[in-house]
């Protein structure tokens, strides 16, 4: 029953989310529902498509990410009257019916051979942190224990639909962002992702870093066999080879488009 009610309310939640007028509780409900509902996720992606590109659209995406991660303290657009939301939700559903078929008819590109590292040009991740009450892009340094947020862009012809996001320090210690790995008895795999630009990941993540240098990796893939243990094993192979983490721009896992960021950990 709860799932059906959430499905009925999700078009309204999506409309209010894009208007920066969705409270934190319904934001969490919406995101949980989108994970398991293809039709509502398609509606969300249609809204992203209609939002377009450019500086204004990117600013709106950062505002939504800030509100999702840090609450209502970020920028907020003027609240619409309560009676307007059912109409807005109905309009969003109409857009789904009219626009989504055109999106689905766009040609899909498949690679028959090994994935080319050139595809890494079309994927990226951006790292954010909270400073002075705002969401700002992380530069060259990060503080140990500092919560970080992430947004990714995924425009590869390979249609990557999974992501592994982690960092390694100079001691070859791996720090996981997505997926989370807190239970050693479990082996989580790569998390589902979408195609698009500036797509925010829903949670902020912090770690107490033991080293002074980090290399953050975002691995985009279609492989279903990649897990946290695959990465951990590859990290130990790098340790045995004596590879310098600071200079390692590509992680040794095939079938992936990659983006990496070198960071220094600020001394306490």
Q: What is the DSSP string of 142-202?
A: EETT--EEEEEEE--TT---EEEEEEEETT--EEEEES----TT---BPEE--SEEEEEPS
**Given this model, what pLDDT does residue 55 score?**
57
CATH 2.70.50 residue spans of the chain: 117-266
Q: What percent of the chain has pLDDT over 90?
A: 45
pLDDT-based confidence at 85, cuts 50/70/90? Answer: low
More confident residue, 90 or 193: 193
Could you write out the DSSP letters of every residue in 42-103? HHHHHHHHHH-SSHHHHHHHHHHHHHHHH-TTS--PPPPPTTHHHHHHHHHHHHHHHHHHHH
**Given this model, what pLDDT does residue 41 score?**
73
**Given this model, what pLDDT does residue 92 score?**
55
Claim: this prediction has a pTM higher than 0.75? no
Give CA separation, 244 vs 107, 148, 161, 232, 260, in Å: 41, 24, 30, 16, 14
Phi, psi of 79 (to 5 degrees): -70, 135
Evaluate if residue 120 carries a pLDDT over 80.
yes
User: Tokens 């992680």 belong to which residue?
Assistant: 251
What CATH code is assigned to 117-266? 2.70.50
Evaluate if residue 93 carries a pLDDT over 60.
no
Report the half-sphere exposure of 124 (CA within 13 A, side-chain side): 7
Mean per-residue pLDDT of the chain: 79
Weakest mean pLDDT among 34-48, 120-134, 208-222: 34-48
| Dihedral class, residue 255 (left if φ above 0, else alpha if ψ from -120 to 50, else beta) | left
**Given this model, what pLDDT does residue 19 score?**
79
Evaluate if residue 105 carries a pLDDT over 50.
no
**Given this model, what pLDDT does residue 252 score?**
94
For residue 255, count CB atoms less than 10 angstroms from its CB and return exposed for 0-12, middle for 13-18, buried for 19 or more. middle
pLDDT-based confidence at 110, cuts 50/70/90? Answer: very low
d(CA 231, CA 217): 11
pLDDT in tens, 6-34: 788 888 878 887 777 788 788 878 877 77
Mean pLDDT for 176-193 is: 94
Element (H, E) at 25: helix 24-36
**Given this model, what pLDDT does residue 119 score?**
78
């Amino acid at each position: 029953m709860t799932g059906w009610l959430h499905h009925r309310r999700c078009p309204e939640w999506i409309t209010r989310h894009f208007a920066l007028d969705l409270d934190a509780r319904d934001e969490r409900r919406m995101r949980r529902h989108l994970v398991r509902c293809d039709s509502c996720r398609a509606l969300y992606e249609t809204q992203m498509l209609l939002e377009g590109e450019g500086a204004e659209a990117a600013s709106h995406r950062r505002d939504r990410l800030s509100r999702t991660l840090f609450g209502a303290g970020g920028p907020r657009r003027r609240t619409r009257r309560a009676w307007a939301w059912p109409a807005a939700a109905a309009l969003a559903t109409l857009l789904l019916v009219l626009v989504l078929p055109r999106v689905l008819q766009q040609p899909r590109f498949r690679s028959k051979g090994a994935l080319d590292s050139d595809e890494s040009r079309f994927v990226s991740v951006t790292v954010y942190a909270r400073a002075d009450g705002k969401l700002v892009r992380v530069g060259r340094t990060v503080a140990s224990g500092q919560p970080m947020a992430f947004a990714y862009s995924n425009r590869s012809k390979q249609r990557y639909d999974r992501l592994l996001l982690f960092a390694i320090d100079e001691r070859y210690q791996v720090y996981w962002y997505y997926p989370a790995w807190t239970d050693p008895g479990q082996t989580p795999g790569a998390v589902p992702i979408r195609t698009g630009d500036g797509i925010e990941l829903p949670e902020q993540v912090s770690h107490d870093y033991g080293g002074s240098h980090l290399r953050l990796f975002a691995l985009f893939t279609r492989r279903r066999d990649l897990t946290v243990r695959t990465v951990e094993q590859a990290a130990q192979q790098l340790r045995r080879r004596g590879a310098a983490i600071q200079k390692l721009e590509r992680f040794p896992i095939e079938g992936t488009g990659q983006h990496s960021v070198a960071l220094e950990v600020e001394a306490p």
